[in-house]
Chains A and B, each alone.
Chain A
C-alpha cells in the first residue's frame, strides 16, 4: 500500500537526489536507476521490496547513505521514549482533570478546566516548543534542552535504546539524570495538545456514565460517593477513554515531527521530515512501515485493555 502511494507521488526521485546537473548526464542517471532497481518493472520492484522487508532490509536511504534499517533502529527508540513520556503525562493530566471536571460539572473547576483544555488544543506545538525552549531553558536555565544528552556525554550501553532506561540499567546515575532532565521539556510540549483532547473526552465519558441507571442504583445502595465513582463510574468511562488515547497517540506521533526539530531530538519525526523533503523513497517507506507497525501494536494494546476493563468483551 505504502509502496504504491510513493510511486504515485509525482516528482522524479532521480532529480531530487542527484541534483539538477547530474540528472542531465545519462550515464549517471542510468547508474542511479540500476543501483536502485528503478529500471525494473513496477511489480518486480514491489516483490523485491517485500522480500527485502522480511529480511529486515529496508533499502538504503538516499540522504544518509546508511541502510534505512540502521537509521530506523537508531531513531525509533528516541521517538518512542519521547512519545511514551508524553502520553504518560497526557494521561495523568488529561484523564485526571477530566474526571475532576465531570464531577464538578458547571462549577468553577469545570469552567477553568474547559479553558485549559481548549488552550491545550489551540496552541501551535512548534511555537510552544520554541517559546518553552527559549524562556525555560535558555533564559531561565531551569531545564536543559537541545539533544537527548549533554553534548559530549557518553551514550549508555544499548539495551532498549531508551537513554533513560539504559542508563538506569547500567547504574549510571549521572547520565540518567541528564537524560531525564532533557526529556521533560519536549515531553511536556508534545503532551499539551493531547492533554486538551483527553480532558475533553474523559469529561464527556464520565458525564455520560454518571447519568446511567446503574450509577443511581449504586447511590441507592447507600454507598459513599467516592466508592461509587471509583468502582462504578470509572470503569465504563475508561473504556471510551482508552479508545481516544489510542487515537491520540497517533496524533502525538505526528507532533514529534515538529517538536524534534526544535529540541534537536534525533528521532523518527525529524527523519520523516528530512526524508519527505528529499523525496527519499526508501526512507519514507521505512518510516511508513514502522508507523504502521506501531499502529497495529497500539490497536492490540487497546484491544487487550478493553478485555481487562469490560468483562463483556472478553473471549471466554
Chain B
C-alpha cells in the first residue's frame, strides 16, 4: 500500500469545561486513511469521533488543547497558524456535516455557496466557477443544475440538500473528505443514494473518505476499513469484513448485538450508557459495561494490541479470540 494520505498519531484533545478544568475528549487516537479508501469511524455519541475530525481541520472550540500529530500528505497540521490552516481547509480537506438543513447557508444562493471557496482557493473567474459548479451539481445528480444554481437551499429536499453539501465540500477539489454522520438526518430510502454517491465519487476522483457515524449498517455498505472508538480511544481496527464479521473487542460485539438485523441475538442493548466527558472510568473505559470484565480491567488502561495483519484490539482479555484449532484450520 502506498503512503497514507492522512496519518493521525497519538492525538489527544482536551476541552475546556465550564468550571475551567480541561476534560479529555480524545485520548490517544491513531488512524490512517489512504487515497481512494473509505475509512469508517464508528462509535456512540461522545466517543470523540467528531472531535477527531475537527482537530484535523483545526476547528476545535475555543480553549481546546491538542497533542500528538496529524499529518496530511506528510505535512503536520497541528500547530499551523490560522492563516496556514485556512489554505488547508476546503482546499485539501473538506467536511460534510450532519444536518443538511443547517449546514447550508439559508440566505445565500447555491451558486454562491458552491463557488465562493473554489474561487478563493483557486482564483478562478466567475463564469468558469459557475460552470464547474453546475458540473458538480450534475455529478451529485441534482436535476437541472444550471437552474439549481440560482435557487436557495430551502427550495430543495433534505436528500438533495445533502447532495449539494457534498458538492460544496468537493468544490475546491480536496483530496480528503470527512463526512460526519452524513446520512443520520435523512430518510432511510435516501441514505442509500447518498452512500452510493460517496462511493462513486471516491472511485472517480481517488478521494480519501473518512466517514464518522454510529450506524454500523452505513459502514458495512461503504467502508473499506473500520476504526471503532469508545470514550475517546480506539478499541478495535481492521477491515470492515473482519471487524463486523468476527469482532474481537467486547464493545464492538455489543454494538453488533444491539442491531436489529445482525449479531447472535437481535436487539440486545449494551447496559448502561457511555461515560460523560469528565467521568471516564479508570482502567479500561468500557469495563463497567463489559460482560467479560476481569479484575485487571478496572486498573490498567489497555493498549491497542496487534491481533492480526492490519487488525488491532484494545482488550487484553480478548474473550472472542478464535480457539487455536480454528486459527490453524
Residues of A within 8 A of B (CB): 212-214, 216-224, 227, 231-232, 235-236, 309-312
Contact = CB atoms under 8 A, between A and B. Distances in A.
A222 B88 contact: yes
A138 to B, nearest CB: 49
A232 B86 contact: no
B117 A217 contact: no
A148 B112 CA distance: 48
Contacts of B154: 311-312
A5 to B, nearest CB: 41
Contacts, number: 77
16 contacts: A213-B97, A213-B103, A214-B103, A217-B95, A219-B89, A221-B90, A221-B94, A223-B120, A231-B112, A235-B108, A236-B107, A310-B106, A310-B107, A311-B109, A311-B152, A312-B107
- Report, nearest first, the 10 A-B pairs whose CB atoms are least far apart: A222-B89, A222-B90, A221-B117, A221-B90, A213-B102, A214-B105, A222-B86, A311-B152, A220-B95, A217-B103
Contacts of B95: 217, 220
A190 B121 CA distance: 47
A214 B87 CA distance: 19
Given A220-B59, A222-B121, A312 B106 contact: yes
A217 B178 CA distance: 12
B130 interface: no
A235 B113 CA distance: 14
Interface in B51-65: 57, 59
A232 B108 contact: yes
A212 B116 contact: no
B7 to A, nearest CB: 20
A18 B44 CA distance: 83
B104 interface: yes
A217 B109 CA distance: 15
Contacts of B94: 220-221
B152 A312 contact: yes
A171 to B, nearest CB: 43
A221 B172 contact: yes
Nearest to B105: A214
Contact of A213 (B90, B99, B109): B99
Contacts of A227: 116, 120
B225 interface: no
Chain A CB within 10 Å, residue with most, of B59, B106, B121: B106
A213 B106 CA distance: 11
A221 to B, nearest CB: 4
Given A213-B97, A216-B97, A223 B117 contact: yes
A219 B57 CA distance: 10
Interface in B229-264: none
A265 B102 CA distance: 50
Contact of B116 (A216, A221, A310): A221
A234 to B, nearest CB: 10
Contacts of B165: 217
A67 B279 CA distance: 78
B59 A219 contact: yes
B49 interface: no
Chain B CB within 10 Å, residue with most, of A227, A309, A312: A312
Given A216-B59, A309-B107, A221 B97 contact: no
Contacts of A235: 107-108
Contacts of B121: 222
B105 to A, nearest CB: 4
A261 B147 CA distance: 59
Contacts of A218: 105
A285 B57 CA distance: 63
A218 B104 CA distance: 9
A233 B116 CA distance: 15
Given A223-B116, A310-B107, 4 more contacts: A214-B104, A217-B97, A221-B94, A221-B120
